[in-house]
Amino acid sequence: MASGGCDRTPVRLNEGPAVGSLERHRMAYTIEGSTGTWEVVVGLEVHAQVVSQAKLFSGAATAFGAEPNSQVSFVDAAFPGMLPVVNAECVTQAVRTGLGLNAQIHPVSRFDRKNYFYADLPSGYQISQFEHPIVGTGEIEVELADGSTKVIGITRLHLEQDAGKSIHDQHPTKTLIDLNRSGVALMEIVSEPDIRSPEEAGAYVRKLRSILRYLGTCDGNMEEGSMRADVNVSVRKHGEPYRTRCEVKNVNSIRFVMQAVEAEATRQVEVWESGGTVMQETRLFDSGRGITRSMRSKEDAHDYRYFPDPDLLPLVLDEDWIAALKASLPELPDAKRARFIQSYGLSPYDAAVLVAEKATAEFYETVATGRDAKIAANWITGDFFAAMNRLGRTIENPPVTAAALGGLLDLMADNTINGRIAKDVFEAMVETGKDAATIVDEKGLRQVTDAGAIDEAVNRILAANPDKVAEYRSGKDKLFGFFVGQTMKALAGKGNPALINETLKRLLAA
């Protein structure tokens, strides 16, 4: 949420749909400066760690959290005479990702060396794909809060190796180097500069992560660094060509991506408006202070001296193999969302929520199959998510299983319990791990559907409240709810709501 910008400056940020407008017309996110209105232009380079057992060019393991330098081969440490050999699975994963982004797959691509010195870059170059990436142009459709969608272009996807890790806080005068990450395969996914707001930037990363997780090509775990974003930001007045951009490196959460866009755009507007010039440079996002700052260690960024890696030959892909991979792709979020709307009659919003994570969508389909799909959706997005969040659980480790939740819904469907009791049963299921039927039996929560018992209860309530009955009969309809509540209370909450309604109507009319 872009609130007010900075107090120090005349800059003001606007966002969101036009209030009261009948058209669903998005008002662009802009920054109001002292010299006018500025548009923000953002392109993202997302580095996604490829899911694979071994590294891109060596046989060392990729697992997270190992002892320092224990997952390092001589290749990863760039010992003299060591040579890279491409891991087939990393290629497959990159192609599957490309296919998932509706992108062109290049049957011939090449690895290049990007030359620069850095403490955690052992060979003094990163093997990447510069001129001929494995995947070309594609696109992603993102959903925005106002219900609209926007297509963001993908420029390219290429394979490259990760660097090691520099640890700066363990010693007063030294930086320690751990090369466990060195050589792990990354996909760099580059977007077109189509993004125009922090919200769109966030939605893009969220959607991309969802697609990668569906494909199983990246675990999308931003806390462990499996996904990081370099955020390219520039600002311009309406109708201008692009101005100089700055790259904010290694932003490691969706929230920070959104904050980095806003902070950097605001900074640039201030620079331009104070008569300065934005210099093309690499910056870091300081999440604590909510600002970006220049990155000293990237001083060679203008001259990486890319050239084809002579240790590696061109990567040549078989067209039939690509077609087979395409045929075997899983259903992706967009297709699943459309199907959920179509087959289950869900609202676009509920469908989007349920497909965001593959595991959630699977959970939902397990519950919904053979049951009322809308009720299933309401339960999952309501009580179930609430319990999951409250308990800090995940969809992979849910507070109740899909089968158990289905069992609860079945008891409602066959009138064994009513919806009010179901909420209590659900909480008991979460607490005890028992299934719904057991809890209903143990606690005697079966719904009262005996007409005689309900007649008796209603008669008792009416007899005990003669004034209210008189008021109701003289036209105070709202009191009907009071009688329902009292009756339900008398039946310890277990009354069948429809029968209670019917009985009350009949007896009050008498």
Partner 1 sequence: MLTDLTIAAARDGLRAKDFSAVDLTMAHLHAIEALNPRLNAFITVSHAKAVDQARAADVALAAGEQRALTGIPLAIKDLFCTEGVRTTAGSKMLSPFVPPYESTVTAKLLHDGAVFLGKANLDEFAMGSSNMTSAYGPVENPWKRRQDDTAVLVPGGSSGGSAAAVSARLAMGATGTDTGGSIRQPASFCGLVGVKPTYGRCSRWGVVAFASSLDHPGPFARTVQDSAILLRSMAGHDPKDSTSANLPVPDFEAACRRGVKGLRIGIPREYRSDGMPVEIDALWQQGIDWLRAAGAEIVDVSLPHTKYGLATYYIVAPAEASSNLARYDGVRFGARENGGDLRDLYERTRAEGFGPEVRRRILIGTYVLSAGYYDAYYLRAQKIRALILKDFTDAFGRVDALLAPTAPSAAFAQGENMDDPIQMYLNDLFTVPANLAGVPAASVPAGLDANGLPLGLQVIGKPFDEETVFAVSTAIEQAARFTALPSLRAGG
Partner 2 sequence: MSLDHATVRRIASLARIRVEDHEVEPLCHELNGILGWIEQLNEVDVSGIAPLTGAANMAAPLREDVVTDGGYPEKVLANAPERIGDFYVVPKVVE
For residue 504, the cross-strand partners are: none
Does 167 help bind partner 1 (rule: CB under 8 A)? no
Closest contact distance (angstroms) between CB of 296 and partner 1 is 10
Q: Which does 113 bind (CB under 5 to 8 A by kind): partner 1, partner 2, none?
A: partner 1
Closest contact distance (angstroms) between CB of 308 and partner 1 is 8
Does 84 help bind partner 1 (rule: CB under 8 A)? yes
Does 86 help bind partner 1 (rule: CB under 8 A)? yes
Cα–Cα dist 400/349, whole Å: 24
Residue 124, sorted as left (phi over 0), alpha (psi -120 to 50) or beta, turns out to be left
Task: Work out which of 61, 312, 338, 437 binds partner 1, going by CB under 8 A.
Answer: 312
If the CB atoms of residues 13 and 315 are measured against partner 2, the closer one turns out to be 315
If the CB atoms of residues 79 and 242 are measured against partner 2, the closer one turns out to be 79
Closest contact distance (angstroms) between CB of 95 and partner 2 is 12
Are 443 and 421 in contact, with CB atoms under 8 Å apart?
Answer: no
If the CB atoms of residues 81 and 172 are measured against partner 2, the closer one turns out to be 172
Are 402 and 363 in contact, with CB atoms under 8 Å apart?
Answer: yes
DSSP 3-state assignment of 495? Answer: strand
Residues 6+ apart with CB under 8 A from 28: 39, 196, 197
CA-closest candidate to residue 453, choices 484, 490, 408: 490
Structure tokens given for 507: 């007896």
CA-closest candidate to residue 183, choices 315, 83, 304: 83
Would you tell me which residues interact with partner 2 (CB under 8 A)?
52-54, 58-61, 67-77, 79, 85-91, 111, 117, 119, 166-168, 170-179, 284, 295-297, 300, 303, 305, 308, 310, 312-316
Closest contact distance (angstroms) between CB of 66 and partner 2 is 9
Q: Which does 8 bind (CB under 5 to 8 A by kind): partner 1, partner 2, none?
A: none
Backbone angles phi, psi at 318, to 5 degrees: -85, 130
**One character per residue 62-81, x = contact with partner 1 (rule: CB under 8 A):** ------------x--xxxxx
Closest contact distance (angstroms) between CB of 449 and partner 2 is 60
DSSP collapsed to 3 states, 398-421: CCCCHHHHHHHHHHHHCCCCCHHH
Cα–Cα dist 128/308, whole Å: 9
Q: Which does 347 bind (CB under 5 to 8 A by kind): partner 2, partner 1, none?
A: none
Closest contact distance (angstroms) between CB of 119 and partner 1 is 6
Does 122 help bind partner 1 (rule: CB under 8 A)? yes
